[in-house]
Amino acid sequence: MPDIKVPEPISGLKFIDAHCHLPFPRPKKNDQLPSDEEQYREFFKSGGIYLITSSIDNTTLDLILNFIKDKQKVGFTCGWAPQTVTYTPKTQYKGNWDKWTDFITNNKEKFLAIGEIGLDFHHAQTLEKREKQVSELKKIFEITKNFGKPYVLHVRNATEREYDRENPKHRYNKRDGATKEILNIIKEFNINPERVMWHCFSGPDDYGIILPKQGFKLSVPSSAYGNSRWRNVTKNSPLDALLTETDSYYQHPYLRGPINVPSNARFSIAAIAYSHNVSQELVSEKTIENAKKIFNLDLVD
């Protein structure tokens, strides 16, 4: 383990993984992940009390439906990720989209939330691709706004290197271009911020204060344990706004590559306790409470 100044998670901590991808198509190279079943077992053995997995398209939706059908204390959020919008071949898009919207409309009792959905201007670097993500996102809100479900957002702003050179003055080419756009859309569709979680919240820093003030919830990835940048974006956010997640198999607490597992959500707790200078027990209690509330989890021990 590298030299990290954040104390390790204490033993006996309870935690929720509010966002991971289990199962997910296995890494193509260098697959060091335990089996899906092992990851699930290990999660509860190490203190996990509820696991929330997330689909991003129809393939991952099918994997998840099959995986959770005989399992307890696991739920999922049903998503159409911005990467899915950008990378699905044009010829397949409409068929896939129709299948997904049909599922969400007719199976509301099966999922906890809509997501991950959002904007990713790292994966979409031209105006055309960004506008496509925006228009698809609006369609999702239009279809789902009366479902009574919370939302899980994936929001990634473009870095300066990723600005669209053809349209340099466009509002998307800002450090908070995607963030601002999504806030406008949420307003347009009258979505309650208290029912919106920003998964793997990545800043900019000032939004770690601005968003909770509006009622939004922010989820801290396990990688915040070893990476101060991921800790700093939420260091000034109130504990009442924070949840814990792994986003596994990425975002390992201190290693790079596709090797993260849901039981590492306890490292998010250690990271928050350190950045907020409070006990891990308190963070555990608060983040569980916040997750139960937004996802409407009925957890009796």
**Sites of contact with Zn ion (CB under 5 A):** 247
Residue nearest to Zn ion (CB): 247
* Residue 134 Cβ vs Zn ion, minimum distance, rounded to whole Å: 20
* Residue 213 Cβ vs Zn ion, minimum distance, rounded to whole Å: 25
Residue number, 248 or 290, with CB nearest to Zn ion: 248
Residue number, 120 or 247, with CB nearest to Zn ion: 247
Alpha helix (H) ranges present in the chain?
A: 36-45, 58-68, 82-87, 90-106, 127-144, 177-188, 207-214, 228-232, 265-276, 280-295
* Residue 118 Cβ vs Zn ion, minimum distance, rounded to whole Å: 10
d(CA 192, CA 41): 35
Pick the closest to residue 218 from 175, 158, 155, 141 (CA basis).
155
Residue number, 81 or 273, with CB nearest to Zn ion: 81
* Residue 19 Cβ vs Zn ion, minimum distance, rounded to whole Å: 6
Residue number, 17 or 247, with CB nearest to Zn ion: 247
* Residue 79 Cβ vs Zn ion, minimum distance, rounded to whole Å: 8
Residue number, 15 or 24, with CB nearest to Zn ion: 24
d(CA 26, CA 5): 32
Pick the closest to residue 20 from 234, 260, 198 (CA basis).
260
* Residue 116 Cβ vs Zn ion, minimum distance, rounded to whole Å: 5
**Contact of 237 with 209, CB cutoff 8 Å:** yes
Backbone angles phi, psi at 112, to 5 degrees: -85, -30
Residue number, 58 or 280, with CB nearest to Zn ion: 58
Q: Which residues partner with 172 through β-bridges? A: none
End-to-end Cα spacing for the chain: 33
**Contact of 40 with 71, CB cutoff 8 Å:** yes
